[in-house]
Amino acid sequence: MVAGSLDSGLYPERLFPRLDVRDPLQPRDKSGDSGSEEVHGYAHNGFSVAEGGACGLDCALARVADENIGRAEMTVVHLARIYGLNGTGGAAIAATRLHLALLKTGVDSHFVCIRPGEPGPNVHILPRGGLLHLAYRLLAKVLRDIWRFTPVRKSVSLNALPLPGLARLLGTLKPDVVHIHWINMDFASYEQLGALKRRFPTCRFVVNLHDLFMINAIEPYPCQDARYVAGFTRANAGRLERWLFARKRRLVERLAPAFIAPSEWVAACCRRSVIGRGRPVFVVPNIIDTQLFNWAGAPAAAPTFKVLYGAHGGRANAFKGFAELRQALARLPDDLKARIELQIFGEDSTETQVDGFPVRFFGAVRDPRQMAAIYRQVDVFAFPSREETQGMTKIEALLCGCPVVAFDRTACAEGIAHRVTGWVAPDGDVVRYAQGLAWVYGHYQTTDATAWRHEIAQRTAQLMDPSRLVKKIIAVYQDEGRGRVA
The total number of residues written for the chain in this structure? 486
Helix (H, G, I), strand (E, B) or coil at 149: helix
In whole angstroms, give the CA distance from residue 58 to residue 37: 19
Return the pLDDT at 156: 97
Return the pLDDT at 17: 31
The answer to the question of residue 272 being in a domain is yes
Helix (H, G, I), strand (E, B) or coil at 406: strand
Task: Give the pLDDT band (50/70/90) at residue 297.
Answer: confident
Task: Give the pLDDT band (50/70/90) at residue 301.
Answer: low
Least confident window among 57-61, 403-407, 462-466: 57-61
Angle at 378 (CA atoms; ends 373, 384), nearest 5 degrees: 110
CB contact set of 448 (below 8 Å; sequence gap of 6+):
none
Question: Are 153 and 102 in the same domain?
Answer: yes
CATH of the domain at 303: 3.40.50.2000
Task: Give the pLDDT band (50/70/90) at residue 41.
Answer: very low
Kind and range of the H or E run holding 423:
strand 422-426
Return the pLDDT at 2: 56
Does residue 126 surpass a pLDDT of 90? Answer: yes
Question: Are 282 and 152 in the same domain?
Answer: yes
Kind and range of the H or E run holding 248:
helix 239-255
CATH of the domain at 264: 3.40.50
In whole angstroms, give the CA distance from residue 190 to residue 174: 20
Least confident window among 336-340, 361-365, 437-441, 478-482: 478-482
Does residue 202 surpass a pLDDT of 90? Answer: yes
Report CA Rg, the chain.
23
Question: Are 127 and 243 in the same domain?
Answer: yes
Give the chain's count of helices (H) and strands (E): 16, 19
Question: Are 282 and 304 in the same domain?
Answer: no
Share the mean pLDDT of the chain. Answer: 87
- Averaged pLDDT, 208-227: 94
Kind and range of the H or E run holding 372:
helix 368-377
CB contact set of 261 (below 8 Å; sequence gap of 6+):
209, 267, 270, 281, 282, 283, 284, 389
Q: Which tens digits make up the pLDDT trace of 367-391?
A: 888 999 999 999 999 999 999 999 9
Number of domains forming the structure of the chain = 2
In whole angstroms, give the CA distance from residue 378 to residue 91: 27
What is the residue range of 365's domain? 294-463
Give the rounded percent of residues in the chain with a pLDDT score beyond 90: 75
Is the alpha carbon torsion for 414, 415, 419, 421 positive or negative?
A: negative
Long-range contacts of 225-229 (CB under 8 A, 24+ apart): 228/269, 228/273, 228/274, 228/275, 229/272, 229/273, 229/274
In whole angstroms, give the CA distance from residue 421 to residue 121: 38
Does residue 272 surpass a pLDDT of 90? Answer: yes
Return the pLDDT at 18: 31
Does residue 50 surpass a pLDDT of 80? Answer: no
Return the pLDDT at 66: 65
The answer to the question of residue 434 being in a domain is yes
Return the pLDDT at 22: 38
Q: Which tens digits make up the pLDDT trace of 356-370?
A: 999 999 998 878 889
Does residue 115 surpass a pLDDT of 80? Answer: yes
Does residue 53 surpass a pLDDT of 60? Answer: no
The answer to the question of residue 25 being in a domain is no
Edge to edge, the sheet with strand 357-363 lists 353-354, 357-363, 340-345, 305-310, 380-383, 404-408, 422-426
Q: Which tens digits make up the pLDDT trace of 440-472?
A: 999 999 999 999 999 999 999 999 999 999 999
Helix (H, G, I), strand (E, B) or coil at 124: strand
Cβ atoms of 72 and 107 within 8 Å: the answer is: yes
Return the pLDDT at 369: 87
The answer to the question of residue 20 being in a domain is no
Residue 312: exposure state from Cβ atoms within 10 A (0-12, 13-18, ≥19): buried
Cβ atoms of 230 and 236 within 8 Å: the answer is: yes
Rounded alpha-carbon distances, angstroms, from residue 42 to 27, 93, 319, 368: 15, 12, 17, 8
- Averaged pLDDT, 398-408: 98
Does residue 48 surpass a pLDDT of 50? Answer: no
Question: Are 65 and 212 in the same domain?
Answer: yes
Q: Which tens digits make up the pLDDT trace of 220-269?
A: 988 889 999 999 999 999 999 999 999 999 999 999 999 999 999 999 99
Question: Are 280 and 319 in the same domain?
Answer: no
The answer to the question of residue 395 being in a domain is yes
More confidently predicted of 43 and 243: 243
Question: Are 330 and 280 in the same domain?
Answer: no
